Amino acid sequence: QVQLGESGGGLVQAGGSLRLSCAASGRTFSNYAMGWFRQAPGKEREFVAVISWDGGSTDYADSAKGRFTISRDNAKNTVYLQMNNLRPEDTAVYYCAAGWMLGTATARSAYRYWGQGTQVTVSS
């Protein structure tokens, strides 16, 4: 089992920044690729970013490229999502997820463990 807990969400104006954190406990954190997903009201949960178990590979949704940066600190069992130049359409609940895989994956089905989510609201 891996337990995940997100933090860092909040209310921010368009153009602002937030840094989300996801702390993991349980099984060895460094064994898992870590992803960030988001779900806006009335929409499907969608992929945002992923980082491989060793931090060597990352991938981003087109909507996140150039604005968001995913990183991890295996010594602290934590993955981060730095979000800059936020837009109202970024408003959603953001979830971190852990999946055992080689490399990275964007599909929700690749991730076994999920956090409870943190709300991000971007005002115009």
Q: What is the pLDDT along the chain (124 residues), one digit of tens a residue?
A: 899 999 999 999 999 999 999 999 987 888 999 999 999 999 999 999 999 999 999 999 999 999 999 999 999 999 999 999 999 999 999 999 999 988 899 999 999 999 999 999 999 9
Answer left, alpha or beta for residue 83, where phi above 0 means left and psi between -120 and 50 means alpha: beta
DSSP letter string over 7-60?
A: E--EEEETT--EEEEEEEEES-GGGSEEEEEEE-TTS--EEEEEE-TTSS-EEE
Strands 68-73 and 18-26: unpaired
Give the number of residues written for the chain: 124
In this prediction, residue 103 carries a pLDDT of 87
Number of H helices, E strands in the chain: 0, 11
In this prediction, residue 28 carries a pLDDT of 87
